[in-house]
Amino acid sequence: MFKNYLFGLKRTNKNGNQIWICTHKLCNASIVMREGLIVKTSSIKSDGSHEFQHQRKLDANVYECIRSIKRRIDEDPATPVSVLYEQQVKKFRRENGAAGSVPVFDRVRSCLYEYRSSKHPPVPKSLSSIEVPYRLTRTLLDDRFLLNHNRTSMILTFSSLAAMKLLGNNEHWNADGTFRTAPRLFYQSFSIHVWDAYSMKSAIYAALPDKKENTYDNFLQDVILYANNYDIKLAPKTILIDFEVALYKSFSNSFPTAIIKGCQFHFSQNIWRQIKKKGLLKLSQGEDVRRQIANILMLPILPPDEINNAFCNIIEHLSNIHVKFLKLTNYILETYIEEPLYPRSFWNLFDLIGIRPKTNNHIEGYHGQLNSHCPTHPTIWSWIRYIQEAEESVMIRLEQEHEQQRTTRRKRLASVNNENILVQAKEDYLNGLLDLDGYQKRLRSLCYRYIHILDTSDKDDEDYEPKHS
């Protein structure tokens, strides 16, 4: 749009010049542009009017409607331009009673797409070709946001200085990745969150090309180096992560004094996946079987010296129900109990009951929120835009909580009650008021809840994991 006349893009020459022509069929007015600047005009008078006389101006409210579409393009880079056009025209109609004066989409299509191209660079076709535009390296308040673009490891890491200070000031961390909203070309979207006095908050965001130990090492070293440059000491006491051997080793090496633990819900997910993979789902519907599955899911919150005894009881009960369940119990023995893939000190959380949350469910909630606003495998530019918004939301919450001395994320009553049940059961067991059987009975309802969630979920994030890596 120039001087309130509409122009459409006719062609782009090899030298980069763009030829724009007036959208009026009988008008020969044209503009030549290069790199966003007007190089030449034709059949346009000094006052902006055209030599062929026709209606000069759009109504002010129509002009504002077109401008509002452009603003939406800035705000929602992942939403198709046609959708934004339709939404804003509907809004125009509600506000003005009719939309007949708004140019049809075909008349403004080239203008709107050209505007989007000028604001958002072409989507990279390979990891090595990524060049992050300056405005996407900054927070929405124009502070530094791109922590590091590691071109050797193909890692993009983002954090504001305020978020890094938040990470350094808190001793309980949670870390997890998600495949569903990993930007295209990348394997996973990874984040580190902290528990402060009020709630959990995301502090670090990264796009990772795989889930190899070396990649995690490079990512964490980038974070540590950035913190050191600003004299921020990262010394977490506990870190809760997913069940990945490479991730466990990397966090253990990078933070040797921290207690690294596996999330109980992820443990439960792993068990449920094995039940499905081994064809045991139909056999797992009865009450007796459900009780033993609940006992399995309870292993991470049992006293460590009771695990062997409890698991022997599980094997005995399940094998009496059906011999096929030995496939499941053998898997658990090999993976978690005898010469385990994951050491018992990693997946057992009894020592942290009452000290910190035992699951990454709050991160899952963050991922759920991200999934609801972000399409599956967005472009890298869209993904950065989403985490810019996430960073700003965290800073708003942080400021509100510190100013008002109250949480912005009130816990659900059921979660508070479940945590109280768990803490009290641990205390009663340690004081000799509960034996193993009594302890299990007290906590079994918490694990039945996990079974219900897992059994009614159509998909989990692993279904979105790239199959080529």
Strands 188-195 and 146-150: unpaired
Q: Is 166 helix (H, G, I), strand (E, B) or coil?
A: helix
CATH code of the domain containing 138: 3.30.420
Please tell me whether residues 49 and 70 are part of one structural domain. no
Please tell me whether residues 160 and 247 are part of one structural domain. yes
Could you tell me if 228 and 235 are in contact, meaning their C-beta atoms sit under 8 angstroms apart? no
Judge whether 238 lies within some domain.
yes
Could you tell me if 386 and 370 are in contact, meaning their C-beta atoms sit under 8 angstroms apart? yes
Residue ranges of E strands in 236-377: 238-241, 259-262
- CA-based max dimension of the chain: 96
User: What pLDDT was estimated at residue 463?
Assistant: 62
Q: Which domain holds residue 68?
A: 59-120
User: What pLDDT was estimated at residue 367?
Assistant: 46
User: What pLDDT was estimated at residue 296?
Assistant: 97
Judge whether 469 lies within some domain.
no
Domain final residue, candidates 11, 33, 57: 57
Please tell me whether residues 332 and 286 are part of one structural domain. yes
Please tell me whether residues 139 and 249 are part of one structural domain. yes
Ordered per-residue pLDDT tens for the chain, 469 residues: 777 787 878 888 888 888 988 878 789 999 998 877 888 999 998 888 898 888 766 777 888 898 899 999 887 776 788 999 999 999 999 999 999 888 888 878 877 887 887 777 778 999 999 999 888 999 999 999 999 999 999 999 999 999 999 999 999 999 999 998 899 999 999 999 998 888 899 999 999 999 999 999 999 999 999 999 999 999 999 999 999 999 999 999 999 999 999 999 999 999 999 999 999 999 999 999 999 999 999 999 999 999 999 999 999 999 999 999 999 999 999 999 987 889 999 999 999 998 877 654 554 454 455 555 567 888 898 899 889 989 999 999 999 999 999 988 887 888 888 889 999 999 999 999 999 999 999 999 999 999 998 988 766 666 666 665 4
The reported pTM is: 0.77
Judge whether 154 lies within some domain.
yes
Number of domains the chain contains: 4
Domain final residue, candidates 41, 57, 73: 57
Please tell me whether residues 318 and 222 are part of one structural domain. no
Judge whether 160 lies within some domain.
yes
Please tell me whether residues 51 and 63 are part of one structural domain. no
User: What pLDDT was estimated at residue 106?
Assistant: 83
Closest CA to 455 of 466, 467, 464, 447: 447
Q: How far apart are the first and last CA of the chain?
A: 47
Judge whether 172 lies within some domain.
yes
Sign for the CA dihedral angle at 365, 370, 372, 378 comes to: negative
